[in-house]
Structure 1
Amino acid sequence: MQATDPDFEALLAYLKESRGFDFTGYKRSSLIRRVNRRMTQVDAGDYPEYLDYLQVHPDEFTALFNTILINVTAFFRDLDAWEYLRAEALEPMIAAKPAGSPIRVWSAGCASGEEAYTLAMVLTEILGVEGFKERVKIYATDVDEEQLNEARQASYGEREIQALPPDLLEKYFEHVGGRYTFRKDLRRSVIFGRNDLVQDAPISRIDLLTCRNTLMYFNAETQSKILGRFHFALAETGVLLLGKAEMLLSHSSLFTPIDLKRRVFRRVPRLYVPPGVVFTDPPPAGAGTATGLDELRNEAFAASPLAQLALTSDGMVALSNRQLEKMFGVSSRDTGRPFRDLDLSYRPVELRRYIEQARLERRSLRVPDVEYHRGADVVHLVVQISPLSGADGSLLGVNLIFHDVTASRRLQDDLEHANQQLEAAYEELQSTNEELETTNEELQSTVEELETTNEELQSTNEELETMNEELQSTNDELQSINDQLRISTGQLDEANAFLETVLTSLQAGVAVVDPDLRIRMWNRHAEDLWGLRSAEVIGQHFLNLDIGLPIDQVRPLLRGALGGGEGESGEIRLDAVNRRGRAITVRVACTPLRPRNGGLGGDDGAIIVMETA
C-alpha cells in the first residue's frame, strides 16, 4: 500500500475523531506495517473492512494502540548515557542553581514508568532523599492511558528489575508478593499524566527533558514541530536526553550537542528582549535623536486606538498601551510578568495555544468571533496574533492586537434584521394585494356574498380573541412556574454552600465516595493531610489514590459500609505518612451514605473520615 492511500488516511482520521489519537504525523511505512499486522490477526481484508471491525468491536482499539505504540523501556537503559548525564550535565547544572531552587524534569513518552523512576534515583543520589523531596518534580507523560496506569502503580516483576544494580534495588524498592515497588515517599514527586507531543501544549521551565527513541516514529515535519515545543519547554540552561536513534543533526539552531555519542544536548538560547523595550532596529549614532525617536515610538504605541500587547520571545509582557488597560486592565505595572499569569491569557478566549502556534509556525493568526462581557455590555473582538522577527530571522516576540468590531457586528445584525423585516413586509403586501383582488371580485359579484363574508370575518375575530385570552392565561401560568423554579434553585444553591461550609469547618479529612468508590467530595483538611487537591481526586477511584494511607487496610471498612443496603459503620487506627513525609497515626471511620427516605444506606456511597489520632 502507498503512504497516500485514501482508505488508510480515512482510518487514521477515524482514530483521531473517535479516540483522540492523532497518528497523522507518524511515518507511514511503520504505521502501515503495524496496522496490517492487526488486520491479519482479525482477518480484515482491507482498511474499510478493518474500520467497520473497529466500530463493531471497541476492544480492538486497545490491541491496535498497543501494536502502534511500541512501549520499550527499562531502568537505566544505556547505562553509559545515564552515567555521563549525571556527571557531566546534572551535577554541574544543580551546582549552578541557587540553593533550594526547584528542579523540574520532564520524561516524555514514559511508557510504564521505568525511565521516570530512573530519573528519581539519579537525582536522589545527587541531592539526598530530603533534598529530592523538597526540590524535584518529575512530570512523566505518555499518550497511552493503560501504560500510565501501570506506571502509577510503580510495581515491577523480576524481568523488569534485572538491569538494576543490587544496591539501588535494595535502597529504592520494597519486595512485596514477588514484585518490587518503588519507594512511596519518593514516588510522590513523580507526576504522571497524558500528553500528546503532537497536539498538546508542552510543560514549561524544564531543567532536564528526556525523550528516548520516540521521535524516530514521526516524520520530519512532525519531528520539527515537537522539537520546537521541546525548545520552548526547556529553561535557558536546559538539557535534552534522546535515544540512540536520534541525533538532531538538522536542528542545530535549537539544540547543540554536549555529547553526540550519548545523545545529550543543550538548549540553544534565543535572542532575549528585556521587558519594556520597543521592538525596533538599533538606534543610529546621535543619542539625542535616537532618544526622541524611541519616545515618539513608545508614545505612538501607547496612544494607538487599538488595544495592543507585545510579548518577549519567552512569553513575558513587554509593552501594553492605554486602550489595552482600558479594555482589560493590563497596564505598564504588568511589564515583566509572564503572560500566562494574566487573566487575559485565557479570558475571554484561550490565547496561549494561538501564541504558541504563531511562534512555531512564524505566521500571523486571526481569532474571530470573540465575545467579551464587560459589565453589562458585550464587546465583539477579532484578535490578531503576529510573530515579531529580527533582521537575522530570530524570534523577538509576539504582538497581539484586539480589534473592536462591536459596531460593525451590530450594523451587520441590524442589516440582517432589516432584511428579514423587509422580506416579511413584502410577503404580507403581496398576500394583501391578492386578498384585495379576490375581495374586489367578490364585491362585484353580489352584495349578499359581501354580507356573508362580513359575518364570517366577525365570527373568526371572536374566535381569535378567545384564543388570545387562553394564550394569555397559559403564559401567566408558565411565568408562575418559572418563579417557583427560580426560588427552588436559590434554595438548592444555599444548601450546597452550607454543606461545603460544614465540610470545610470539620477538623478532619472527609471524603465522600459513590458506590463505585469514585470520589465525589474531598474537603480542605483532606487536602492538607495528604497533599492532593480536590480537583486532582474528584472522579478518581479511592483505592487508586497515591497517598500515605495504607489503602488495602481501609478496603474492609468500605466493603462494610457499602453492604448493598445493609451498610455498617466502622473505624480503624492506621499508621500512615502525611503529605510532608512524616509518620502519623490516623483514625479512619467509614459510614454508609444514608438516603433521604431513611433507608439503611450503602447503595448511595459512603463517607470516609480521616483524623490524626
Structure 2
Amino acid sequence: MRSTFPIVGIGASAGGLDAFEHFFRACREDTGMAFVLVPHLDPNHASMLTEILQRCTSMPVVEAEDRLAVEPDHVYVIPPNREMYIMHGVLQVAMAERARGLRTPINSFFRSLAADQADRAIGIVLSGTGSDGSLGLMAILEAGGVTLVQDPTTAKYDGMPSSAIEAGYATKILTAEKMPAALLAGVRSFVETEVLPPEPKSDSSLRKILAHLRSATGHDFSLYKKSTIGRRIERRMAQHNLDDADVYARFLVENPAEVHVLFRELLINVTRFFRDAEAFAALKADILPGLCEDKPDDYVFRVWVAGCASGEEAYSIAILLREMLDERPLPFSVQIYATDLDDEAIAFARAGIYPHLIEQDLSPERLRRFFIKEEDGYRVKKEIREMVVFAIQNVIKDPPFTRLDLLCCRNLMIYLEVELQDRLIPVFHYALKPGGVLCLSPSESIGNHTDLFAPINRKWKFYRATPTYKSSRAVIAHGLSWSPDSVVKAPDGLMKNSPDFNFAEQTRRVLLQYFAPASVVTDLQGETLYVHGDTGKYLRPAPGQASLNVIEMAREGLGPDLRLAIRAAAQEGTATLDRQIPMESNGAFVMVSLGVRPLPGLDPRQNLLLISFQDVASPPPAKSGRKRALKPAELSRIEELEHTLAHLKESHQATVEELQASNEEMKSSNEELQSTNEELQSTNEELETSKEELQSVNEELITVNAELQSKIEQLASAQNDMKNLLDNVKVGIIFLDQQMVIRSFTRDATRVYRLASSDVGRPLSDIRSAVDGDDLLVAAKVVLESLIPYECELHINHDTWLLARIQPYRTLDNVIDGVVLTFTDITSRIKAVAMQEALMLAEGIINAIREPMLVLDSVLNVVSASDSFYREFRLAPENTVGHRLYDIADHLWDQPDLRERLQKTLRNRAGFEGCELALDFPGVGHRSLLLNARHFIGTVSNQALLLLSMQIQP
C-alpha cells in the first residue's frame, strides 16, 4: 500500500556531502515529505553524515534501521555496508552482499521505491562518480514518477549526473539548492487525496488538451489511463508554473512546439535489456524450442515486438534466437518486426548504440558476443542488427503484422483503459498463427478473452493462440481503427434527481400511471426501444430465440392487425387510431383498442413508432322487443365471425400485397447478387493476376536485395582495406570539399593540424596549424580553381621536414569535388642530403688548407682527414676514416697527454692550443707537432665533433 505522503530518494557519491548541505539548507521543515538518503559510504568506518546534516536542517535526521516505518518531515540515511529497500512504506535494511567492488545501492533503492510508490515515486541524483542511480531513475520514470538531477556544472563530480542526463532519465536538471522549491511546487500532485468524481471543468480541460493533441499529431490518447495522462500533463504544467488546466489548454494552442513536447512526454519509452530475466529464461527454455520444431528449410520465423521503445527488448529476443540457432542449427531464417509510436525512439533503436549502463543488464559473455565496445558505449553487432526491422506504427489504429509465430507486447497495455485492452487482444490473436505465442508482462493479462488464448505460463504471462475465427470477426467488425464509439451520453447533472420535491413532476407521473394506456416505443421494424406501463396482457416473449419485436411478441389475434398498422405507419406515415381487435386472453376473446402513431425522435434521422394498447368495455345487452331477440351468445358469435371474416379478408389482401412486394424485392436482390457475383469473379481474377505480379516483384526484390547485400559486403571489405592502408602508410591525409570543409583525415595529419574526431564537418580554417600562416589553405583554393597540383616542403617542430602535396579530389565520375592534402615525412632524406653537402663542403675546406687536419667524433673516431694529412704521414683514407685516432699509424697517436687533453675537451666542450708532441713515424721520420683542437656541433647530425689541426715544427 502506498504512503499518503511523498517519499523522496536521494542518491550521491563523491562530493555528495556538499550537495546534501545545499539541498537541506534550502529545504523547509514542514514539506510533508520524507527524505531517504543513499550515499556511497565507507563500509569499514562509522558514518558521521547524520550529525553533519542535522546542523543543516531542523527535521530529525536518523540512521535507517530494519523495518523502520517512514514518516513525513524526517530524513533517513543508509548505514555503512548495508543495502536498503522500501516496501509498503517501511525500510528494509540488510547486510551488503559484498563490502567493496561493483555495488549499486542507489539503483537498488530507487527500483524498490518505484515498485512501492508507482507513479508517485521521486528520485534525485546528486554529485558522484560512476553511473549508479541512472537505472534506478529509469525505473522511476517507467512507473510514472518524477526524477531530478543536479546540474553537472555545479557538481563537484559530474559522473553520476552526466550519466543520468545522457541516458535521458532526468525530468528536471537543477542545482541542489533549487530542488526543494521544485518539489514543493509539484507536491500537490503527489499527495494522496480522497477519490471524488472528476469535476466537469477539469474533465472538460483534459478533453480539450487531448483533442488539440489529436488534431496536431494525429494520435488519440483518450483511451489511455487517465492517471498516467494526468500525471504527465501536470508535469508539463509544473514546468511552465501553470496551475489551471484550462490555461494550459490555451497555452498549447498558442505554442505549437509545446504540443510536440507534451506528445513526447506521454509516450512510454523506458525499457532495458532482458527486463524480467526469469521471463526471458522461460522464453528460451520452454517457449522457443517448441515454436521452432518441425519447420521447413525455407521457413521464416516471424516475431513482432509491439511498443518496442528504444529497441532493447527486440534485441533481447534476437539474442535469444541467435543463441538457440548457434546451439542447435536450424534450417529457417528469423525476421523480427519492432514497432513503436515514437519516431525518435525508433531512430535510436535503428542506430543500435547503447550507453555503458547496459553492462548491468547483460552478462560479460553476451556483451562480448553480440556487442562492439566503442568510446560512447556498445554497438549491436551486424548479425543481430540484421535480424530486426524497426518501423513506426500506432498499434491502436494501424494494421497489425500477420502470420506471426511470437508476439511480444510487454508493459504497453498497463497504460491503456480496459476498453482498449479488450479491443487489442483480438487483434493480437488475429496477428498470430494458430499455435503462436503471445507474451505479456506480469502486470497484464488477456482479460475475458479466454476463448482466444490458452495459458502456457501464468506467472510470466505466456499464452498460446487457439484456432478460432472470432478474432477475425472482431477485427472486421471494428475495422483497423479502434477509436471509441460516439455514443451520446446525457450529462451527469441530468441523471441525478433534484433534491427538492417537484409537485408537477410527481403529478405527471401519477397521471401517466393511471390514465395513459400501456404503450411501447419501437423503430420502423417493430423492435422495442422503450416500454411504458404493464404490457404483459398484450405482449409476451415468443418461444425460441429471444426477440424484442412486438409483432412476434403479440398475443394471439393482435399479430396481423399490428403488422398492418406498423407497415402503414412506417411506409405511408399513416396513424392507426382506436382500432378494436379481438384478442385471446385466458381462453376467451376480449376487445383491445390498438393505436399506432409515428413518433418524431430527438434525431430527425431516427423515426420511431408509439404503439398503445387499451381494453374496450363490453357493450350492454340488447333490450327485448316483439320479435324474438337472438340470444346474446348468438349475437356475440355472429359479430365475432363477421369481424374475423373482415379481418381475414384484410389480412389476405395485405399478405398478397406483401408477397408481391417481396417477390419484386427478391427479383431485384437476385439481379444485384448476380451482378455482385460477376464483379467478385472479376475482382478475384484481378487479385490472382496481382498476386502473380507481386510474386514476381517479390522475387525480383529478393534478387536485388541479394545483390545489394553482396555489394555492401564488398564495400565493407574495401573500407577495411582502405582503413588499414591509411593507418599503415604513415602519410597524413586530409580530404576537403569545395568549401574547404573537412571530410575525413588520417592519424598522421594531426602533426600539421590539431584535429580531433569531432572536427569532421568543420572548415579547415578553424583548425590551428603547426605551420605559420595560411599558405596551405590559400594553395588549396588555387588548386581547386586551377586543377594544377601544388607541392612544397614544410619545416615543423624544429627538426621535422614534411613534403606537402595538394591535388584535386576526383570522384569516380571524374567530377572535381574538393582537394586532397597529403603530408609525407622526408626528415631522414633532408638530413641525409644536408649531411652529404656538409661533408663535401668540409672536405673542400680541409683539403684547401696546407696544414694536416682531422675531424673526430665524440668517441674520437676519424670522420674525415685532409689531403695534407695523408701526404705528410703517408696514410691511406681506408686505413684512417672510421678508425679511432689511437688505432691508426700502429697506435702512434695513443699518447697519455694527448688522450687526457682530448677527453677534457669533449667534457668541457672547449678546445686547447699549443699541445707539443714529438713522434717518430715509420717511413717518415721524427716530427715535432704543435696541436690545436676546437669543439663544435654538427648542424645536420647534431653531434659533438672535434677539429684537430697540426703544425709541423722545424
If the length of structure 1 is used for normalisation, what is the TM-score? Answer: 0.49
**Could you say which structure has the higher helix fraction?**
1
Instruction: Specify which structure has the bigger relative contact order, considering alpha-carbon pairs within 8 angstroms and separated by 6 or more residues.
Output: 1
TM-score (structure 2 length as normaliser):
0.32
**If you compute each CA radius of gyration, which structure gives the higher value, 1 or 2?**
2
